[in-house]
Structure 1
Amino acid sequence: MDEKGITIDLSVQGMSCTACAARIEKNVGKMPGVEAVAVSYSARTAWVQYKPGMIEPSAIMQQIAKLGFKADLPENAKEGFEKERSRLRLRLIISMILTAPLLSAMVQHLAPFARIELPELLTNPWLQLVLATVIQFVIGLPFYIGAYHAIRSRATNMDVLVATGTSAAYLYSHFLVFNADRTALYAHEVPLYFETSAVVITAVLLGKFIEASVTSRAQQDASGYSKLLNTVVKVERAGVEMEIKTEFVRENDYVLVPAGQIIPVDGVITNGESEINESLLTGESVPLAKRPGDQVWAGTRNESSSLRIRTTAAGYATMLSRIVDLVRQAQRSKSLIQRQVDAVSAWFVPAMLLLSLGTFVIWVTAVDPGNWTTAFRCAVAVVLAACPCALGLATPISLVVASGRLAKRGIVVKEAGALERLAQLDMLVLDKTGTLTEGKPKIGSMHVTQGSKQGLLRLAAAVEANSTHPLAVAIRAEAVQTGLVPPAATDFSYTTGKGVEALVEQRRIGIGNAGFAALKKWGIGSPTIQRFAEERQKLGETVLYVADNNRVIGAISFIDAVKAFAKPAVTQLRKAGVTVVLATGDHPAPALSAAQTAGIDSSKVYANMLPEDKLELVERLKEQDYKVGMAGDGWNDAPALAAADVGLAMGDGTDAALTAGHITLLQPRMTAIPEALLISRLTVRNVRQNLTFAFIYNALIIPFAACGMLQPWMAGTAMAFSSVSVVGNAIRLGASLRRAAGQF
Structure 2
Amino acid sequence: MKSDIAIPTAPLKTADTTTAQVSMPVTGMTCAACAVSVESMVANTPGVAQANVNFATQTLQVTYNPKQVKVTDMQKALQSVGYDLIIDTENAQEIQEQTQQSQYQALKKKTLLAGLLTLPVVVIGMFLMDLPYGNWIMMALSAPVLFYFGRNFFVNAFRQARHGKANMDTLVALSTGTAFAFSVFNTLYPAFWHARGLHPHVYFEASAVVIVFILLGRLLEERAKSNTSSAIKKLIGLQPKTVWLVEGDTEREVPVSTIQKGNILLVRAGEKVPVDGEVSFGSSFVDESMISGEPVPVAKQAGDKVFAGTINQKGSFRFVAEKVGSETLLAQIIKLVQDAQGSKAPVQKLVDKIAGIFVPIVFVLALISLTTWIILGGDNGLTQGLLAFVTVLVIACPCALGLATPTAIMVGVGKGAEQGILIKDAESLEQAYRLNALILDKTGTITEGKPVVTELVWSEEDRLRQMELSSVLLSIEQQSEHPLAEAVVRYLRDQVGSSVVLDSFESVTGNGVKASWQGHLYQIGSPKYIKAQGISLSDELSSLADTWAAAANTVIYFAEEGKAIAVLAIADKVKDTSAKAVQALQQQGIEVYMLTGDNARTAASVAQQVGIKHFQAEVMPGDKADFVKKLQGQGKVVGMVGDGINDSQALAQANVSIAMGKGSDIAIDVAKMTLITSDLQLLPKALKLSRLTVNAIRQNLFWAFIYNLIGIPIAAGVLYPVYGFLLDPMIAGAAMALSSVSVVANSLRLKAKKL
Could you tell me the TM-score, scaled by structure 2's length? 0.54
Change beyond 3 A, Cα 1:216–1:103: closer
Match of 1:686 in 2: 693
Match of 2:107 in 1: 88
Match of 1:148 in 2: 158
- The 8 Å contact of residues 356 and 379 in structure 1, kept in 2 or not, is answered as yes
- Measured in 2, the distance between the counterparts of 1:277 and 1:12 equals 38
Match of 1:383 in 2: 396
- Measured in 1, the distance between the counterparts of 2:438 and 2:117 equals 61
Name the SS for the 1:236 alignment partner: strand
- The 8 Å contact of residues 562 and 597 in structure 1, kept in 2 or not, is answered as no
Name which of structure 1's ranges 693-702 and 387-396 shifts more when overlaid on structure 2: 387-396
- Given candidates 93, 98, 113, the residue that maps to 1:79 is 98
Match of 1:697 in 2: 704
- Measured in 2, the distance between the counterparts of 1:103 and 1:420 equals 34
- Given candidates 159, 169, 176, the residue that maps to 1:166 is 176
Name which of structure 1's ranges 17-26 and 641-650 shifts more when overlaid on structure 2: 641-650
State the AA in 2 paired with 1:24.
V
State the AA in 2 paired with 1:289.
P
Confirm or deny that 1:237 pairs with 2:237: no
State the AA in 1 paired with 2:104.
R
Change beyond 3 A, Cα 1:296–1:367: farther
Change beyond 3 A, Cα 1:314–1:354: same
- Measured in 1, the distance between the counterparts of 2:25 and 2:274 equals 25
Change beyond 3 A, Cα 1:275–1:636: closer
- The 8 Å contact of residues 182 and 390 in structure 2, kept in 1 or not, is answered as no
1:310-329 alignment runs, 5 A limit: 312=323, 318-322=331-335, 324-326=337-339, 328-329=341-342
Deviations 1:317-351 (A, max 9, x none): 62552354146326x5247xx38765434312223
Name the SS for the 1:11 alignment partner: strand
What is the deviation of 1:27? 1.9
- Measured in 1, the distance between the counterparts of 2:119 and 2:446 equals 66
Name the SS for the 1:155 alignment partner: coil
- Measured in 2, the distance between the counterparts of 1:355 and 1:8 equals 41
State the AA in 2 paired with 1:383.
A
1:426-575 alignment runs, 5 A limit: 426=436, 570-575=582-587
1:93-242 alignment runs, 5 A limit: 95=114, 106-107=124-125, 110=126, 113=128, 118=132, 136-176=146-186, 179-181=189-191, 196=203, 198-200=204-206, 202-219=208-225, 223-226=229-232, 228=234, 229-230=236-237, 233-238=241-246, 239-242=250-253
Deviations 1:614-642 (A, max 9, x none): xxxxxxxxxxxxxxxxx986789987774
Match of 2:636 in 1: 645
What is the deviation of 1:386? 5.9
Note the residue ranges of structure 1 that are not aligned, 5 or more in a row: 402-407, 438-477, 484-538, 542-560, 584-590, 608-630
- The 8 Å contact of residues 580 and 681 in structure 2, kept in 1 or not, is answered as no
Change beyond 3 A, Cα 1:319–1:325: same
Match of 1:344 in 2: 354
Change beyond 3 A, Cα 1:271–1:656: farther
What is the deviation of 1:426? 5.0
What is the deviation of 1:37? 0.7
What is the deviation of 1:8? 0.9
Name the SS for the 1:48 alignment partner: strand
Match of 1:520 in 2: none
State the AA in 2 paired with 1:171.
A
- The 8 Å contact of residues 363 and 374 in structure 1, kept in 2 or not, is answered as no
Of all paired residues, the percent bearing the same amino acid is: 17
What is the deviation of 1:58? 3.2
Name the SS for the 1:384 alignment partner: coil
- Measured in 1, the distance between the counterparts of 2:140 and 2:181 equals 13
- The 8 Å contact of residues 437 and 638 in structure 2, kept in 1 or not, is answered as no
Match of 1:450 in 2: none
State the AA in 1 paired with 2:589.
G
What is the deviation of 1:424? 3.9
What is the deviation of 1:247? 5.9
- Measured in 1, the distance between the counterparts of 2:106 and 2:35 equals 21
- Measured in 2, the distance between the counterparts of 1:722 and 1:39 equals 33
Change beyond 3 A, Cα 1:215–1:698: same
- The 8 Å contact of residues 102 and 123 in structure 1, kept in 2 or not, is answered as no
Match of 1:37 in 2: 52
Confirm or deny that 1:62 pairs with 2:76: yes
State the AA in 2 paired with 1:378.
T
- The 8 Å contact of residues 394 and 691 in structure 1, kept in 2 or not, is answered as no
State the AA in 2 paired with 1:696.
W
- Given candidates 588, 593, 599, the residue that maps to 1:576 is 588
What is the deviation of 1:153? 2.0
| Count of matched residue pairs | 566
Name the SS for the 2:164 alignment partner: coil
Name the SS for the 1:321 alignment partner: helix
- Measured in 2, the distance between the counterparts of 1:395 and 1:264 equals 46
- Measured in 2, the distance between the counterparts of 1:424 and 1:102 equals 44
Confirm or deny that 1:289 pairs with 2:304: no
1:7-22 alignment runs, 5 A limit: 7-13=22-28, 15-22=29-36
Change beyond 3 A, Cα 1:216–1:582: closer
State the AA in 1 paired with 2:213.
G
What is the deviation of 1:148? 1.3
- Measured in 1, the distance between the counterparts of 2:648 and 2:682 equals 19
Name the SS for the 1:318 alignment partner: helix
What is the deviation of 1:684? 5.9
- The 8 Å contact of residues 161 and 384 in structure 1, kept in 2 or not, is answered as yes
- The 8 Å contact of residues 567 and 598 in structure 1, kept in 2 or not, is answered as yes
Match of 1:486 in 2: none
Name the SS for the 2:241 alignment partner: strand
- The 8 Å contact of residues 11 and 71 in structure 1, kept in 2 or not, is answered as yes
Name the SS for the 2:341 alignment partner: helix
Deviations 1:237-279 (A, max 9, x none): 24444474x76666667476875x8x5856468867568595x
Change beyond 3 A, Cα 1:64–1:102: same
What is the deviation of 1:223? 4.6
Match of 1:611 in 2: none
Deviations 1:74-121 (A, max 9, x none): 3212221233334435555665676677668x44xx5x64676x5x5x
Structure 1 vs Structure 2 CA RMSD? 6.9
- The 8 Å contact of residues 345 and 392 in structure 1, kept in 2 or not, is answered as no
Note the residue ranges of structure 2 that are not aligned, 5 or more in a row: 13-18, 87-91, 415-420, 448-525, 532-549, 553-570, 596-602, 616-621, 664-677, 716-726
- Measured in 2, the distance between the counterparts of 1:178 and 1:634 equals 65
Deviations 1:137-161 (A, max 9, x none): 4554422221111112212122222
Could you tell me the TM-score, scaled by structure 1's length? 0.54
Match of 1:48 in 2: 61
